[in-house]
Amino acid sequence: MGPAGVCIVIVRRDLIGKYKSKMPMLNDWDLFNKAANTFHNTPCCWSIYVAGLNIDYMLKLGGIPAMQELAAKRSGMLYDYIDNSDGYYSNAI
């Protein structure tokens, strides 16, 4: 979804507050939930910006269904080219 260094986490509300003391602080979702507009690490702003641009682009194309269709079209073109190369290229998969 973005360049290296971006990690997007979606946490169900019923998992917030079930932190175990042996886990790293960065996995305490309740701590993040209560800390408005603060971070427990320093995020890379450029990576977040680029991820936002990528998400906007994907939404303009039609979201996940449109991206799946586009990926299938692209991979189909590649595999068709490989399969029709009369053995010059081979596809081990």
> CB neighbours of 37 closer than 8 A, spacing ≥ 6?
none
Parts of the chain with a pLDDT under 50: none
Q: How many residues does the chain have?
A: 93
- Cα separation, 24 vs 10, in Å, equals 17
Hey, how many other C-beta atoms are within 10 angstroms of the C-beta on 15? 10
Q: Which residue has the tokens 């080219």?
A: 81
- Alpha-carbon distance of 69 to 23, in angstroms, equals 39
| Per-residue pLDDT, 87 | 85
Query: The pTM is what?
Result: 0.59
Mean residue pLDDT across the chain: 86
- What pLDDT score does 50 carry? 93
